[in-house]
Amino acid sequence: MSSLNDEVNRLNGREAALQKEISDLQVALVAAKEHGERECNRLRNDRASKVTRTTKKAQARLDRVKAYLKEQEDLVGPKVDAENQAKGAEEIVGILMQRGAKIAASELSSLKELTKRASDEVNALNVIELGDEDLNMSPDQLGFSRQTSQVAPVADQHGSNVDLVCGSDIRRVSDEEASQTI
């Protein structure tokens, strides 16, 4: 009979130990879930801010290209066309004079003045210059890269952070939190 009582006592002690372990594991599970949720939110927010920054950078480059094209169409194009027409007229007059045509000196000086004025206007333009970086919209060129983790270094950057947190750490933190609330 005493051996049965001893066995019952031993099993009751084992049951209490297992209940304590279950309780500890449940606390650890809650802590791991909360950590996972915080990490997912941090990564989600990090990705959203990175996408926003990259989008702004790409839009700024695109706006610069649009401004360049508009400037070329509205301002530079007509002035360059006028310069080319003046130079072309001057060359034609030169060819005609070589072939014996008589042209008044006042007309020649007027034509030279027109050419000089058109060239000066083109040279005075402050034209937007585009570099290769303005034309490259690749995410690699826009600085779209993975930011460093703010929580802890990760052994496998594309994997899970589970290996970085061991059960004893979670139990220790849980015990500290429990002792602080008491």
pLDDT digit string, tens, across residues 18-73: 999 999 999 999 999 999 999 999 999 999 999 899 889 888 888 988 888 888 88
Q: Which residue has the higher pLDDT, 136 or 54?
A: 54
Of the candidates 93, 72, 84, 92, which has an alpha carbon nearest to the alpha carbon of residue 115?
84
R_g (Cα) of the chain, nearest Å: 40
Contacts of 55 (CB under 8 A, 6+ apart): none
- Chain-centre distance for alpha carbon 18: 51
Q: Return the SS3 of 20.
A: helix
Q: Is the pLDDT of residue 169 over 60?
A: no
- The pLDDT value given to residue 140: 63
Looking at per-residue pLDDT, the higher value among 180 and 1 belongs to 1
Give the position of tokens 């042209």. Answer: 103
Please write the tens of the pLDDT for every residue from 81-126.
999 999 999 999 999 999 998 888 899 899 999 999 999 998 888 8
